[in-house]
């Protein structure tokens, strides 16, 4: 058995993805009943964060503790990572001491290089290109609220960023139609679009993406690392606010997701975000915990 990594959603087969989601739902139920599952006794997760985080850090750290293991928070500020030690050397050293590593970084190639030299599974906890752990939680949330996403219509409104790229991969893995509304110049990765074929389409007006959709998602307009572009982006994304008016064009039982943190009044209205008949963002955030526990269990069971 080789070491399995999770750098994008495509690192799992469709069946594996389905079973991770089912297991996440099961782990959530077990936790609600107070039944502990501890497959990680004596195991350690290394967590490398080169960008800020609330949900990702808390969910991985709490998840590992709940499963009998522990987690180490490693920041470039106080490790040799921030002083230029090569990724390849860091990977060989860290992966001889811990049992799994999650990395939040800028360039996706950092994850790929780390994984190439790692003895243990590596998880992408967000890169500039992808955020696959968030998609595990989003898919779990849709399944819990509306059942299988297969054949559904999903609208992405906003930036063609790491989240959008991961939605494209999710459309392939879960067989849903994805309509992306983004301003010119803010499209997602071209090669991902080409690989996804005609199940993914780009439109220019948010309403054209949302019409008849079952699931509407958005994210901030300026991602981490793009702080200096904030003002330019606010202009470029004029008209891309997701609010009740826009949601009124979706199917009557459509749900709204946002990976959070949200900027109320920019990409989403405060009223929509707080409307729990439509917005499932708190369940979505909680599901990071359950989905990643299922993912870590899968990677451990399926790696040598």
Establish if 55 lies at the interface with ligand CP (CB under 6 A): yes
Q: How many CB atoms within 10 Å of residue 35?
A: 9
Q: Is 53 annotated as a binding residue?
A: yes
Q: Please choose which of ligand CP, ligand NVA, none residue 163 contacts, taking the beta carbon within 5 to 8 angstroms, the exact cut-off set by kind.
A: ligand NVA
According to CB under 6 A, which one of 54, 75, 109, 248 is a site residue for ligand CP? 54
Q: Nearer to ligand NVA by C-beta: 126 or 174?
A: 126
Establish if 259 lies at the interface with ligand CP (CB under 6 A): yes
Complete edge-to-edge strand list for the sheet that includes strand 200-203: 200-203, 177-181, 153-157, 215-218, 255-258
How would you class 226 by CB atoms within 10 Å of its CB: exposed for 0-12, middle for 13-18, buried for 19 or more? middle
- Kindly provide the b/e burial profile for residues 236-268, where b requires at least 16 CB atoms within 10 angstroms of the residue's own CB: bbeebbbbeebbebbbeebbbbbbbebeeebbb
**Using the 8-state DSSP alphabet, how is residue 150 labeled?**
T
At closest approach, how far in Å is the CB of 124 from ligand CP? 11
Q: Please choose which of ligand CP, ligand NVA, none residue 54 contacts, taking the beta carbon within 5 to 8 angstroms, the exact cut-off set by kind.
A: ligand CP
* Bridge partner residues of 101 (DSSP): 46, 122
- Kindly provide the b/e burial profile for residues 121-143, where b requires at least 16 CB atoms within 10 angstroms of the residue's own CB: bbbbbbbbbbbbbbbbbbbbbbb
Establish if 127 lies at the interface with ligand CP (CB under 6 A): no
Query: Cα angle at 171 between 168 and 174, to 5 degrees?
Result: 145
Q: Quick check: bond before 261 cis, omega within 30? A: yes
Establish if 260 lies at the interface with ligand CP (CB under 6 A): yes
Q: Nearer to ligand CP by C-beta: 162 or 300?
A: 162
At closest approach, how far in Å is the CB of 109 from ligand CP? 20
Establish if 291 lies at the interface with ligand CP (CB under 6 A): no
Q: Is 188 annotated as a binding residue?
A: no
Q: Is 134 annotated as a binding residue?
A: yes
Q: Using CA atoms, how far apart are residues 238 and 233, in angstroms rounded to an integer?
A: 8
Establish if 37 lies at the interface with ligand CP (CB under 6 A): no
Q: Is 165 annotated as a binding residue?
A: no
Q: Which residues of the chain form contacts with ligand NVA (CB under 6 A)?
A: 126, 131, 161-163, 219-220, 223-224, 259
Q: Please choose which of ligand NVA, ligand CP, none residue 220 contacts, taking the beta carbon within 5 to 8 angstroms, the exact cut-off set by kind.
A: ligand NVA
According to CB under 6 A, which one of 105, 118, 124, 134 is a site residue for ligand CP? 134
At closest approach, how far in Å is the CB of 126 from ligand NVA? 6
Q: Nearer to ligand CP by C-beta: 171 or 259?
A: 259
Q: Nearer to ligand NVA by C-beta: 50 or 219?
A: 219
- Active-site annotation, residues: 104, 131, 134, 219, 259, 288
Q: Using CA atoms, how far apart are residues 212 and 219, in angstroms rounded to an integer?
A: 20
Q: Using CA atoms, how far apart are residues 206 and 158, in angstroms rounded to an integer?
A: 8
Q: Is 224 annotated as a binding residue?
A: yes
Q: Using CA atoms, how far apart are residues 26 and 15, in angstroms rounded to an integer?
A: 16
* Bridge partner residues of 6 (DSSP): 123
Q: Nearer to ligand NVA by C-beta: 124 or 161?
A: 161
Q: Which residues bind ligand CP (CB under 6 A)?
A: 53-56, 126, 134, 259-260
Binding residue numbers for carbamoyl phosphate: 53-56, 80, 104, 131-134, 259-260, 288
């Amino acid at each position: 058995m080789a070491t399995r990594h999770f750098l994008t959603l495509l690192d799992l087969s469709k069946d594996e993805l389905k079973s991770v989601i089912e297991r996440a739902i099961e782990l959530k139920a077990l936790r609600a009943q107070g039944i502990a599952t501890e497959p990680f006794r004596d195991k350690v997760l290394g967590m490398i964060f080169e960008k800020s985080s609330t949900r990702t850090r808390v969910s991985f750290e709490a998840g590992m503790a709940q499963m009998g293991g522990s987690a180490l928070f490693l920041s470039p500020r106080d490790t040799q990572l921030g002083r230029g030690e090569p990724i390849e050397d860091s990977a060989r050293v860290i992966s001889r001491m811990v049992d799994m590593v999650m990395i939040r970084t800028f360039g996706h190639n950092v994850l790929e290089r780390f994984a190439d030299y790692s003895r243990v599974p590596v998880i992408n906890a967000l890169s500039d290109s992808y955020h696959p752990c968030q998609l595990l939680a989003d898919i779990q949330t849709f399944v819990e609220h509306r059942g299988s996403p297969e054949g559904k219509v999903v609208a992405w409104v906003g930036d063609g960023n790491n989240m959008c790229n991961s939605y494209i991969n999710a459309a392939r893995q879960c067989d849903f139609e994805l309509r992306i509304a983004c301003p010119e110049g803010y499209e997602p990765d071209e090669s991902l679009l080409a690989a996804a074929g005609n199940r993914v389409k780009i439109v220019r007006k948010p309403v054209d993406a949302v019409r008849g959709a079952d699931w509407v998602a958005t994210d901030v307009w300026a991602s981490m690392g793009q702080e200096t572009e904030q003002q330019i982006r606010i202009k470029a994304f004029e008209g891309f606010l997701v609010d009740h008016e826009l949601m009124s064009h979706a199917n009557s039982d459509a749900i709204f997701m946002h990976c959070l943190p949200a900027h109320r009044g920019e990409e989403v209205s405060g009223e929509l975000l707080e409307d729990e008949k439509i917005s499932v963002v708190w369940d979505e955030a909680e599901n990071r915990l359950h989905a990643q526990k299922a993912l870590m269990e899968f990677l451990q069971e399926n790696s040598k």
